[in-house]
Every structure is written in structure tokens, then in C-alpha cells.
Amino acid sequence: MGMIAFNDKFELASDVNCSDKSLTHRAFILAAIADGTSVLNNVTFSRDVCSTVNALRALGADISVEKDRAVVAPIRALPNEVTIECGNSGTTARLLAGLVAGLGVKARFVGDESLSKRPMKRVVEPLRRLGANIDFAPDCLFVCQGGELRGAKIRAEVNSAQVKSAVLLAGLFAEGRTEYIESTLTRDHTERMLAQLGADIETSFAEGSYSVCVGASRPRAFSVELPNDPSAVAYSAALALLTGREATFTNVLLNPARLGFYNVLKRSGAKISFCNVRDVLGEQIGDVCVKCSALSPFVAAERDVSDGIDEVPLLASMALFVKGEHRFQGVAELAHKECDRIEAIKHIANVVGKRCCCDGNDMTIVSDGKIPRGKRFKTFGDHRIAMCGTVVSVVGGCGCVDDAPFDVSDPAFLERLGIYPLKLGLIGAHAEQSVSPRLQTYLSMRAGVCCSYDAVTLHDDISDTDLLRVIDRYDGLNVTMPFKTRVAKLLNAPVPSVNTIGKRIAPCSTDGYGLVHSLQKHEIDFAGKPLWIVGAGGAAEACVRELLRFGCKLHILDRTAANAERLRRKYSLPSEISRPFGVLTFIPECPFEQSVPLPESCEFVFIADYMGRSALREKANARGLTVVDGLEMNYAQGAASFSLWTGTPVQDDYADYIDYVKEFHYI
């Protein structure tokens, strides 16, 4: 999903599930090596979980899926060699490193750009100590090539439940016993689940450390309804607390090592309680009840941070709404997540004018509790940071996030918050270069309408069926080259080229309106005047139709003479105009555009391509002529499209919009 603009409207939904991601990964992995077929219910198939499922299938597990239910038949025959596609999932990479080392399969682990930057030595080194033949290689995370595993005593060098789990999974296949010792107890889902499923495993606390010891064994097959993720519920709880609402969230995992977020809030005055507590696969499950509360500044000790590492950015975002100084200890591990979340927290604080600083491993946030409206938050491609930006935007009244990869961990994130954006977008050959996403989110915030806006780049050889399928996914779309005339034909539009379509509007073009509006803003008296039009594409033709309504006399110039002749004949235009009042170009700079002269009679030049250079712009500037930038046309036509989609009038505040896009270096 692309940029999303939020308003202050939401309605928390307690009946939208999101299975705990940590438990879901581990349940699939243990089911894949169990002694029979297992059944997993209430599964949320986030992108991270799908990475683990697909990797286990590649290793030989038979996994069938129907809605939120999965049936897993364990691995029977191993492949000789396999590539493990981990996507963005560090859990997939690290846990399956341990499993693959135990299985003895030759496997090459690969991941996306973000995952490739995350530390993997922390899991490779302890697996090597067990005898795994695992090493780093170019263009991948690491390569595992089997090895005879022997049990060993391994002390944790970093506090990581993923590393611990990798060692324990490898230990299930090692000769002798494998002991893992950590000074701070990290998430213990793996050992709890192994113990519940009959594996040879023991845990103990002694002399300030935690030890878990595993022997060669195989877990039993099982059937389970996975509980909801306390990390996912945290965002709903945050919205409830910050807006004075009461809410109850059911069937939530209440593992003590996952409750750092809730413990910090309780100490700050939040009225949060757990009820209906019961055991499932060795884990405590229950309901989270939130009541209206007055919050004091947050203090998160190192234990709290360890027990709520994924929710620290959310706590930091909540702190912006609570007056005072907030302290978080031992946050260094945040720098090694999907992005550097310490820097991301600083960004969120800076955007709303608050102070966030770090001293060693500790972080401090100082806030007056007052948050400005209408701010835009970068997400750095990180799902947790996108969720934090959402909370700040909604509680603050309005705002936007520049990317929303919620489906990495929680595909139903917005649904659970009761937020349903109008789904808008742009399709074209180079849609990623457009400023339209910034324009539409700007208009959405100004109008108080919740919208998402995607820039969808399509190849021009896409089939009609696939093109219509893309169109059907959206409530409204802008259409740019080379699809304007093609979409018009597919949708039986009343005009030969379109730039605006939607489920509730007739296909149309706002290009002509945008051009006329921008010329009028510059007080250019173009009505009835002779003009040169450079270009013969969809936008040029739409503007020709509009200018003819104003009695203009038009001459078409195009690098392809046949295209120019087509428009001349279609609209009965003169074959030559020697003294044009202005030149309007709809093509990017190229040898043909450079060759177009600027007659002495010209008083203005219009440049549609606002993103690139233009020889005509340079010629006009050299003579001191008025130059109308295509960004003004883009603003006016985009505003017209927005009004059609939403039924909301748009005020003309182009100057404020330019300040907005300049602030974020969009132009």
C-alpha cells in the first residue's frame, strides 16, 4: 500500500483477529518436524509468516491452507539443495538457520534489501559451535551446507530469542545435549512449546542466569487455536488510552516476556487489566481490558524494553501526547530491526517538534503533550514505524504516512482500528516518478478525508484483462501515459482520452480544466488567441478540446508528423500559425522539443513536464517571458479529480501545497 492520509475517525474492532506472529512462526516450524499431521487455527498469513510457510514447503513439508486454518504434514523427504526465500523476515532467516543446520540440508538463504542489512553473525557463530557448516557468501544472507552436530554449552552474546530458538531447533538433531545460557530471559515461546509437545527439554534459573537444555527428540503432532498478538493489540490499546475510550480485546497472548508495553503503561497510570486467563500450548492466554486513564511520563527499564522491544516505538509515539520527560533504558537493539528504529523514533518526534535524544543505550523524550495536525511521517519501509505514524496521525487529528507495509506483520491492521481509507491511485508507465501521491495526501488532509494513494507502474504490454483487474482494485484512479486512450476505449468513455476514473464517476479528463485554471491564475488572456501545441498525446488532445471551447486557434507540432496530422484533421485545425500568442508543450525535453522555435510574437510558454528540463523553458526565461509550470496544472487537475472521487470541494491553496512539497524535497 502507498501513502495514506488519516483523519481522526476510527472505531476499534475487537473481533478482527491477528495471530501472534512469534507463536505462528514457531508453530509452523515445529509442525513441520512433528511425528504426525498438525492443525493450526486462527492463522494470520502476514508476509513474514508466508515467508516461513513457503520456506518449509521448499524443505518438503506439505502445508495446505483454507482461510485462517492450516494443515501441516511434516517433512518426509529432504531436497538435496534449496534456496530459502526469507523476504523481510528475520525470524524466518534465523530460526530456519537452526532447523536447516539440524536437517543437514544444503541451503542458500536470501532476503530483501532490508533483511540483508540486519546482523546474521549472531546466529551463524553459535550454530558453527554446534558443528554446522554455515558461512557467508556473496548475494545472500548465508549458506548452510550440513555438518555433524554435537551438543555444546553456548552462552548468549546478545539478548535474542531468535538466536536462542535457532540453537534449540538445531539441538533437536544434535548428538548429546545442547545448553543455551542467557543473562536476561528473552522470549521463551520456543522452549514452552517444545516442552508442551513432549520434546526432551529442561529449563532452570541459577546465579542470575537462565538456562535451557535440549536433547535429540521430536515434538508431537498437535492442534491449536493460535492466540492474538499482544504487539498487534498494543496499537488498539494505544488509541483507546490516548482518546479516552474503553475497550476489551479477547484471546490475547499474555506471555510475561511479551508484556513490557503494558507494564510500562500500568506504572504510568493506565488502567489495564488481564482477565479470563487460561493456558494454551504452555502459554497464558486472556483478555486485555483498557479503561479511561490519565497518563504520567513513561519510565521503561531495560527489562521492560526487552519484554516489549517491538512496542518501544509505539510507547515513544504515545509519549509525545503525554507532558513530561520519558525515559527508555537499553534500547540499542532497536537499531538492528527492519530499520534503525532509534533514528525512526527521532524522526517522528522531530516532525511534531519534540525532543528525542540518546545517551549510550538510553533514550529520552521530552514533550509538552501538544501535537500539530497535518504532519507527514516517513516509515523507512518498516511496518512498525508505519503503524506508529498511523497512531500519531489519528490521535493528532490528521496526518499521513509515506508508505504502509502493514501486511508484513498485520494485514488487518487498519480493519482492526476501524479505519477504511478510500483507495485511490495512479497507473502509468513511470508512475513512481509522479508527485500525485503527495498531492492527493495533501488534499486528503486538508479536506479531512481518509484516503490511500498508490503509484502503480505498469508495462505498456499489459493485457486488457490484467489492466481491468488492476483498475477494479481501486475506488478511483488517475491515468497517465501510455494508458489514457486505451483506458478510455476499455471503459467506453465519452471522451477519447481519460485521466480520471472511479467506481462512482463517469470516466473523464481533468487535464483541460487543469491547464485553463493554471493559465487563468497567471492572468494570461489566452481566449481566442493563436497557440502552438507541442505534442499529440492524450493530455495534449484533452487540452486541445478545452482550448477550443475558449475560441483558441491551434496549430499542432509533433515529432511524429502523422500524429499531428491526425489531431489537425479530427478538430479541423489550421496547418500553420505563424505568430502564436503562446507555446504549450506536452512532451519532455528531446531533440524535437529543442528544435521548436519560440517566435517573437509569444508572450508565454506552458511546460507540462514539471519534473524535467525544457529547452523552451530556457528560451522563455532568457527573454523574460511568463512561464507556467506544469505543476500548477497537475495541482488543479488533481484537485478536480479528488473532488470527483470524494464529493468534497477543494480550496485553491497552491502556494501552501508548493511549500509542503518543497519541505520534503519532492521538487
Residues 6+ apart with CB under 8 A from 129: 152, 154
| Nearest residue to 215 via CA among 164, 257, 176 | 176
Q: Is 652 a catalytic residue?
A: no
Amino acid at 642: F
Instruction: Using CB atoms within 10 Å of the CB of residue 335, give its burial: 0 to 12 exposed, 13 to 18 middle, 19+ buried.
Output: middle
Q: Decide if 416 contacts 468 (C-beta within 8 A).
A: no
H-helix or E-strand spanning residue 642: helix 630-646
CA–CA gap between residue 169 and residue 75 (Å, rounded): 15
Residues 6+ apart with CB under 8 A from 289: 247, 248, 272, 273, 274, 275
The H helix count followed by the E strand count for the chain is: 24, 32
DSSP annotation of 459 = -
| Nearest residue to 165 via CA among 118, 130, 133, 212 | 212
Phi, psi of 225 (to 5 degrees): -100, 110
User: Which three-class secondary structure state does DSSP give residue 189?
Assistant: helix
Question: What is the number of alpha carbons within 13 Å of residue 134 lying toward its C-beta?
Answer: 35
Question: What is the number of alpha carbons within 13 Å of residue 352 lying toward its C-beta?
Answer: 33
Amino acid at 625: L
3-class SS shares of the chain: helix, strand, coil, % to 5: 40, 25, 40
Catalytic residue among 310, 403, 511, 629: 310
| Nearest residue to 258 via CA among 197, 198, 192, 308 | 308
| Nearest residue to 58 via CA among 31, 27, 91, 85 | 85
CA–CA gap between residue 135 and residue 155 (Å, rounded): 20
Phi, psi of 189 (to 5 degrees): -60, -40
CA–CA gap between residue 176 and residue 147 (Å, rounded): 15
User: 481 is written with which cell numbers?
Assistant: 501515459
Q: Decide if 171 contacts 151 (C-beta within 8 A).
A: yes
Exposure string over 366-393, b if 16+ CB within 10 A, otherwise e:
bbeeebeeebbbbbbbbbbbbbbbbbbb
> Any idea which residues carry the catalytic annotation?
310
